[in-house]
Amino acid sequence: MNGYREDFPILKSGLIYLDSAASSLTPEQVLKKMLEYYREYRANTGRGVYRIADRATSELEKARKSVAKLIDAREDEVAFVRNTSEGLNFVASSLKFKKGQNIVTTAIEHHSNFLPWLKISREKGLELRIVNPTKDFLINTEDFEKQVDDNTKVVAITHISNVLGFILPVRDIVDIAHKHGSMVVLDGAQSVPHIPLSVKKLGVDFLSFSGHKMCGPTGIGGFYVNPDVLNELEPIFIGGESVDKVSLHGYTLAKFPASFEPGTLPIAEAIGLGEAARYLMKIGLEKIARNDERLIGLLHEMLSTIEGVKIYGPSQEKRTNLLSFNIRDLDPNDVALFLDISSNIAVRSGFMCAQPLVNLLRSKNGVVRASTYLYNTEEEIETLVERIKDFTK
């Protein structure tokens, strides 16, 4: 994978960037594509008939097609949103709930896939049911069997834990949910950038993910909706081209995805996201996944031999792209600051926007998290471990 490092000039500074789970680096190819828009066809999309407006619209839809292909969806099943959080909030706020229904989620969720359901359950008077991890911090599908029933409207789960790094048994959970007529909302923030993913094979009804975690720009993401459940949604924002016909007394919505894209989109960012999707597909998600597993596996193996280092998560489970740990009773933020100042190593520290889970881990100040991507190397992992050893001497 080292051949791709030259696409990321920031690495020439000697930076060891191990925080891609929060936000990945962006390759030159994506930046070039975004600048192409501003320099060659800077116009609004879907509104003009002149040539550069037509090209802008064409490039935007080309980007949508690439993003859809990345997740094995059709282009008319994917809307552009700002990020994972916005897509998940769209689902929670747009669904039509009835009295007596419930929502099922887990205690390991990122705040973005927990707070919207907590908020809507309070507003609508719905029961929010929580599936807790096992003592080994695994998610047991049998616990979903106990919580999901015929009154469950939504099952909201993450694909990969942003703290523990393991993949949830999504297909099994989908089967349980669909057996009861429930819809499944999937947080793909960590999975879409790192592993091969097919919404068709997983069978999920909604998927949301962020561009800034998958080599794309900030402020743009993807939102997949299974066409079979579109009639369950009522957009919370309308305007611009999100409507088909408007009179002084009413309106009719445009077809999805336009119905969820009111106003002018972040056009350059959407085009950049499309280029990022093509970049990842050219490399191959299988190859990226193998590299992540190899590096995180090496990190786990090396840290396991250091006295005073506590690694979080089930030891028997493979981690994908990240690993969380602490060093004795040191504050995670102090560890991260030391790694940055002493060795130009960037890792995450704190609660990872997953306070309920970190509380279950009984780590009062959070954790240190190292996360890899296609541009990381074994040498960088070894350097990180050597610096961590400095804490334990």
Catalytic site positions: 353
d(CA 5, CA 384): 18
**Measured CA distances, 165 to 26, 112, 312, 315, 353 (Å):** 22, 17, 10, 11, 14
DSSP symbols for 104-139? EEETT--GGGTHHHHHHHHHHT-EEEEEPP-TTSPP
Residue 34 structure tokens: 């975004």
Residue 103 structure tokens: 């929502």
d(CA 386, CA 393): 11
**Measured CA distances, 53 to 35, 63, 65, 87, 349 (Å):** 16, 15, 18, 27, 44
In contact, 372 and 18? CB cutoff 8 Å: yes
d(CA 4, CA 246): 50
Q: Which residues contact 220 (CB under 8 A, 6 or more apart)?
A: 80, 81, 82, 83, 210, 211, 212, 266, 269, 270, 272, 273
**Measured CA distances, 46 to 23, 59, 60, 217, 258 (Å):** 30, 11, 9, 22, 10
